[in-house]
Amino acid sequence: MQRTAIISIPQPRSKRRRGGSRVARIGLYAFLISAALFFLLPLYIMLVTSFKSMDEIRLGQLFALPSTWSLDAWFAAWSSACTGVSCEGIRGGFTNSIAIVVPSTIIPIMLGALNGYALSFWRPRGANILFGVLMVGAFIPVQVMIFPLVRLLAAVDLYSSLPGIVIVHTIFSMPMMTLLFRNYYSSIPHELFQAARIDGGGFWRILFQLVLPMSAPIIVVAAIMQVTGVWNDYLLGLVFAGRENLPMTVQLNNVINTTTGTREYNVNMAATILTSLVPLVLYFVSGRWFVRGITAGAVK
């Protein structure tokens, strides 16, 4: 799991060409292009639907472009769609998600870096056993842990609160963060660390002056993973965040599965895109870093 999990896709080597014949090449591209169209289909439908009016949607031409483009559904999704009883759109969810994502990114990264550093350079006794249990723990279905965590957080009065949901995200991201940093640090030459020790560097000094400054690439990967993972979370937000802090994903589900009134599909699709915008932009902007992060995070 460790080594293969953290991969980036190598570039194709030159001087390689298989499946030589012309017909085979055409078949190859036909397959890839139709697959690409299938993958893009939901995105396309989401986009065109969000610009249509409800009258046009009722015509049932799912694939057609809007006859008149309108941003009304986007404004409605943002500021007036009903999530359950209140009708203030999903903008509240947006700020809630931000409020959850920021600390749930910073704290797990800090802890992950600290754990990885201690594990790969200092190796305190028993730490490897802890790490092993943590790695196995990464595979425990959350349902096994949820109720005890609810009781624990309720006992310290943090259930249904912002600190509560941040703690929960920190707990569930600990395996991946620790693994990422541990593997990264074990690839750093140990001679560097030894030299710093001989020069009298202590635990914190080596961390802050030597190790962390070299950690920028892995911190970026970890941050992309955390932002995406926490932003896209539904289950934990639903259970632990409390009504005041519901993240965007939970509000989105409430908007769409609210059973009262007619379903405004254009508003629903606009709300879905708005909810997906942050991770999608992150994905398109960060490219290969993102791939590294999610293929590593996929082991979660």
Q: Does 114 bind another protein (CB under 8 A)?
A: yes
- For residue 32, the SS3 value is helix
Q: Does 115 bind another protein (CB under 8 A)?
A: yes
DSSP codes joined into one string, 160-215: TSHHHHHHHHHHHHHHHHHHHHHHHHHTS-HHHHHHHHHTT--HHHHIIIIIGGG-
In this structure, the number of other CB atoms found within 10 A of the CB of residue 128 comes to 11
Size of the site for another protein (CB under 8 A): 107
Taking residues 122 to 141 in sequence order and writing x for each that binds another protein by CB under 8 A, - otherwise, the string is xxx--x--xx-xx-xx-xxx
Task: Say if CB 100 and CB 210 are below 8 A apart.
Answer: no
Q: Does 208 bind another protein (CB under 8 A)?
A: no
Q: Which is nearer to another protein, 104 or 268 (CB)?
A: 268
Distance CA 175, CA 183 (A): 12
Q: Which of 67, 151, 209, 285 binds another protein (CB under 8 A)?
A: 151
What residues from 81 to 100 belong to the interface with another protein (CB under 8 A)? none
CB of 215 to another protein, least distance (A): 16
In this structure, the number of other CB atoms found within 10 A of the CB of residue 247 comes to 26
Q: Does 284 bind another protein (CB under 8 A)?
A: yes
CB of 91 to another protein, least distance (A): 17
Distance CA 33, CA 54 (A): 32
Q: Which is nearer to another protein, 69 or 139 (CB)?
A: 139
Q: Which is nearer to another protein, 162 or 239 (CB)?
A: 239
Residues 6+ apart with CB under 8 A from 265: 49, 54, 57
Query: Which range of residues in 66-74, 81-89, 98-106, 251-259 is near another protein by CB under 8 A?
Result: 251-259
Distance CA 142, CA 76 (A): 34
Q: Would residue 84 be called left, alpha or beta, if left means φ above 0 and alpha means ψ between -120 and 50 degrees?
A: left
What residues from 175 to 194 belong to the interface with another protein (CB under 8 A)? 178, 190, 193-194
Q: Does 232 bind another protein (CB under 8 A)?
A: yes
Query: Which range of residues in 73-81, 87-95, 114-122, 212-220 is near another protein by CB under 8 A?
Result: 114-122
CB of 123 to another protein, least distance (A): 8
Q: Does 261 bind another protein (CB under 8 A)?
A: no
Q: Does 38 bind another protein (CB under 8 A)?
A: yes
